Amino acid sequence: MDNNSLLTLVIYSIIACCVIMLFVWLWSYKIKNAGVVDIFWSYNFPVIAIILYLFAPGFEMRKMLLCGMVILAGLRLGTHLAIRIFKHLHEEEPRYKQIRQEWGKNAEKKMFGFFQVQALSNVLLAVPFFISAINTDPQISPMEYAGVFLWAISVICEAIADQQLANFKKDPANKGKVCDTGLWRYSRHPNYFFEWLMWVSYFIFALASPYGYIAIISPAIILYLLLKVTGIPMTEQQSLKTKGEAFKRYQESTSVFVPWFKKR
C-alpha cells in the first residue's frame, strides 16, 4: 500500500467534503432546515470518487468500475432525497426539529459541528474506495466482479423500494396508512436493507486489494447506524406517532430489516 498516495487522497477528500458541508450549513442556517445535510452527505461520495479517479495511482479499469458505482449510487440517493426535501424546504423534518430543541440556544453552533462530522463520516465510510483505488494490479478479480453484481442488485432494489413508497404517499387515500405493498410487504425498511447491502458490495470489491479486510468497517458502521441510531429507531418512533395502531400491527407481522415472509 502506497502510504503517501493514500494520505494525500484522504486529505484532498477531507478538505473537499468539509468545504462543501460548510456552504451547506450556511444555506441550512438561512432557510432554517438542517435536513439538506442528508442530500449533500450522499453527494459527497461522488465527490470523493472523482478525486480518486483523478489522483489515485490504481489500475484504470478498476478505478472506472469503482468510481462509476459510487457516483451512480450517490447521485441517485442524493437526488431522491433532494426531490423529497425540496417539496417542503421551509419545513424541517421532525428529527432535526427535535435535535434543535435538545440543543437549545446553542443549536446553530452545534449544527455546524454536526455538518462537519458528517463530512468526516463521508471520508471514514469511503475506506473501501481508498483501498481499491490505489490497487495497481492490472487484473480485475472474480471478487471484484461479484462486488459489482451485488452492487447492481442493491442499488436497483433500493431505488424500487424508494419509488414504491413515494407512489404510495402520492395517493391521498393512503394518508395515515402504512405502506405494505411491494418490497415493503416483506420488510419494514427495505430501502435501508438494500442501502446496507450496497456497502457490503463495496467491502466485497475491496477484498480483492491488499488490506481489503479493513473495508469491513464501512458496512459495520452503516449497519450500526441503521439499526441503533438514526435509521430504524427514529423512523419507527415517528411512524408510531403518526400511524399508531396500524403501524403496531405492521411491526408485529413484518420483518424489521431483512426482507422475509409475513408472520401469521
pLDDT at 2: 61
- Banded model confidence at residue 234, pLDDT cuts 50, 70, 90: confident
C-alpha cell at 261: 415472509
Using a pLDDT cut of 90, give the percent of the chain over it: 82
Work out the average pLDDT over 150-171: 96
- Banded model confidence at residue 141, pLDDT cuts 50, 70, 90: very high
Work out the average pLDDT over 77-93: 90
Helices (H) and strands (E) in the chain, counts: 11, 0
Query: Is the pLDDT reported for residue 218 higher than 90?
Result: yes
- SS3 readout for 130-153: HHHHCCCCCCCCHHHHHHHHHHHH
- More confident position, 179 or 102: 179
Least-confidence region, from 39-53, 181-195, 201-215, 238-252: 238-252
pLDDT at 142: 97
CB 196 within 8 A of CB 226: yes
- Banded model confidence at residue 257, pLDDT cuts 50, 70, 90: very high
Task: Tell which residue, 143, 157, 162, has the closest CA to residue 65.
Answer: 143
Query: Is the pLDDT reported for residue 95 higher than 90?
Result: no
Work out the average pLDDT over 161-170: 95
Mean pLDDT of all residues in the chain?
Answer: 94
Work out the average pLDDT over 25-37: 93
* C-alpha–C-alpha distance, residues 212 and 219, integer Å: 13
Query: Is the pLDDT reported for residue 101 higher than 90?
Result: no
The per-residue DSSP string of 4-40 comes to HHHHHHHHHHHHHHHHHHHHHHHHHHHHT-TTHHHHH
Looking up cell 402504512 gives: 178
- More confident position, 199 or 244: 199
Least-confidence region, from 46-50, 91-95, 240-244: 91-95
Query: Is the pLDDT reported for residue 107 higher than 90?
Result: no
Residues 6+ apart with CB under 8 A from 238: 94, 95
Interval 116-125: pLDDT, tens: 999 999 999 9
Work out the average pLDDT over 125-130: 98
Taking only Cα atoms into account, the Rg of the chain, rounded to an integer number of angstroms, comes to 19
pLDDT at 1: 59
Alpha helices, DSSP H, located in 179-257 = 190-206, 217-228, 232-243, 245-253
* C-alpha–C-alpha distance, residues 235 and 210, integer Å: 38
Query: Is the pLDDT reported for residue 153 higher than 70?
Result: yes
Q: What is the pTM for the complete model shown?
A: 0.94
C-alpha cell at 242: 403518526
Long-range CB contacts (within 8 A, 24+) of 58-62: 58/132, 58/133, 58/134, 58/135, 58/136, 59/135, 59/136, 59/137, 59/138, 59/140, 61/140, 62/132, 62/133, 62/135, 62/137, 62/140, 62/144
* Amino acid identity, position 260: W
* C-alpha–C-alpha distance, residues 12 and 253, integer Å: 47
